[in-house]
Structure 1
C-alpha cells in the first residue's frame, strides 16, 4: 500500500472515531470509558498520520 492510500485509510478511520465520539456524547447516559477508549485510538491514529507525513 502506498503512503497516500495509507493516509486516506487512517484519516477515514479517524473521522469514523470522531463520529462515534459525537454519537456517544449525545446519548442520555454517555459511556465515559468508551469515550476515553475512542479518544486514545484517535490520538494513536493522529500520531501515525503525523509519522507518515514526516516520511
Structure 2
C-alpha cells in the first residue's frame, strides 16, 4: 500500500513539474500559476520525504 502511495505522489510530482515547464516556456507565463504549482510540488516532495 505504501509503495503505491509513493508511486502516486511521484507521478503527481512529475505532472506538476511538466506543467511548470510548459507554463514557464510560454511567451507570457502566468507567474502566479507557476508559483502555485511550485508550492504544490514542494508539498508533495515533503510528503514523500515523510513517507520514507
The two structures share one fold, judged by TM-score above 0.5:
yes
| CA RMSD between the two structures | 0.3
Scaled by the length of structure 1, the TM-score of the pair is 0.93
Unaligned ranges ≥5, structure 2: none
Distance 2:24 2:34 in 1: 8
How many residues are matched? 52
Alignment of 1:2-13 (within 5 A): 2-13=1-12
* Deviant stretches of 4+, over 4 Å: none
Distance 1:37 1:45 in 2: 13
Which residue pairs with 1:47 in the alignment? Answer: 46
Unaligned ranges ≥5, structure 1: none
- Higher Rg: 1
